[in-house]
A and B are shown apart, each in its own frame.
Chain A
């Protein structure tokens, strides 16, 4: 029989207690167990980055972690990137402004990667942006407008949040 294990995860600020099979990946846990379907599955072998989430403030590939491995951790998914309901982060707003997405499938992972970049490099160069998103594949945009979005979001003037 399947031995489920009890885990506790703080996701986007909310503490969840659940029982999971050890083989359940973090991405499947987030999507199926917590109905947080913003994080997407693209390859399940650690290449495309669509499943990127923040684990204790660092981006990881959630398809390459079993949920049991991250028991007790704090996770931020795309659903947790906006500062509050009805308000987008500067980065999310910039993505909308520069058309940094089309189908939206890689977007959550891209936002997580870019969000992380800005935490430690508030004014990145275009090369630094490309390096930061190099682990996230996109088939729609050719990356150009994504780089534009990050450059816009980090341009000197502007408000912190946009309604």
Chain B
């Protein structure tokens, strides 16, 4: 399983990378950690003529934390987020998501941006981005800098809004400040570290009386992209934990999805699984928030 031949260029900075993309367009692919791309190339499912290495561009590696946002450069390694205490304190959901991403060897190389651009429908970081309404920043020479919400970014299985001449530069992850914010992330795979058969995540905030102030939840692996349910989440606002009909919410959410069939997982079982996981994460989140 040797990759098809290609040429390689190490981009010194973003401008350099974008120039290559201008020149080679569809024939070029950006590579950061390569944890998804290299196996695809080994199987000759991806065969770019040019590989543009952006993994050494410092500008793409910044981690910045404010009271409202976490900003991660696209080439920030997953492990650098995972082991960054201030970050994971401010945004526990991202650490919970990363817990399920592959294995330590893959997180040592894999990047936050890489997982988002690869856009596997069952991947953890895309679900998290969608859940938190993250903003993804792209740049190209032709169009300059532009920003997309996660909901605009993920378009289909392994398919995003990134054009051939664009590079994802950084991601802003909104932070929910204030008391009684809790989150949960669950997934079921046959082995830990495998692609999820289905996953579910939730984040919510309760007020002093235990009523939902705001909520967001979603599922992965249930459609062409991860799915979040803002309207259903909105219906939870103002309710206490006991007033929330978890079963009904989860049922309605998964009904709205079109899960696929594969050798490990029929669409019926996937639907069942997502429903169970969604109930669990919302319940866990409520319990955690109440306990605070």
Query: Does B8 sit at the interface, judged by CB under 8 A?
Result: yes
The answer to whether B255 has its CB under 8 Å from any CB of chain A is no
Encode contact with A along B32-56: 1 for CB under 8 Å, 0 otherwise: 0011001101110000000101010
- Is A55 on the interface with B (CB-CB < 8 A)? yes
**Residues of A contacting B35 in the complex (Cβ-Cβ under 8 angstroms):** 46, 61, 64
In the bound complex, how far is the Cα of B104 from the Cα of A69, in angstroms?
19
Tell me the complex Cα distance, A153–B4, Å: 43
Known: A46-B39, A64-B35, A66-B34. A135 touches B6 (CB 8 A): no
Question: Which of A21-29, A92-100, A138-146 binds B?
Answer: A21-29
Q: Knowing A44-B42, A58-B79, A65-B38 touch, does A23 contact B4 (C-beta < 8 A)? A: yes
Q: Given B2, B104, B109, which contacts A23 in the complex, CB threshold below 8 Å?
A: B2
| Chain B residues within an 8 Å CB radius of A22 | 5-8, 51
Q: Are A49 and B6 in contact (CB under 8 A)?
A: no
Report if A23-B103 is in contact (Cβ < 8 Å); known contacts: A45-B39, A66-B38.
no
Pick the contact of A21: B1, B5, B103 (CB < 8 A): B5
Q: How large is the interface on A (under 10, 10 to 19, 20 to 34, 35 or more residues)?
A: 20 to 34
Interface size class of B (residues with CB under 8 A): 20 to 34
Given contacts A22-B7, A23-B4, contact A61 B55 (CB under 8 A): no
Known contacts A21-B5, A22-B51, A45-B1; is A61 also within 8 Å of B106 by CB? Answer: yes
A69 close to B6 (CB less than 8 A)? no
With A64-B35, A69-B31 given, is the CB distance from A59 to B105 under 8 Å?
A: yes
Given contacts A45-B1, A45-B43, contact A68 B8 (CB under 8 A): yes
B residues in contact with A66, CB < 8 Å: 3, 8, 34, 38, 51
Please report A residues at the B interface, Cβ cutoff 8 Å.
2-3, 5, 21-23, 25, 28, 44-46, 49, 52, 55, 58-61, 63-66, 68-69, 71, 113, 116, 132, 134-135
Listed from nearest, the 5 A-B pairs whose CB atoms lie closest are A135-B103, A22-B8, A45-B39, A44-B1, A23-B3
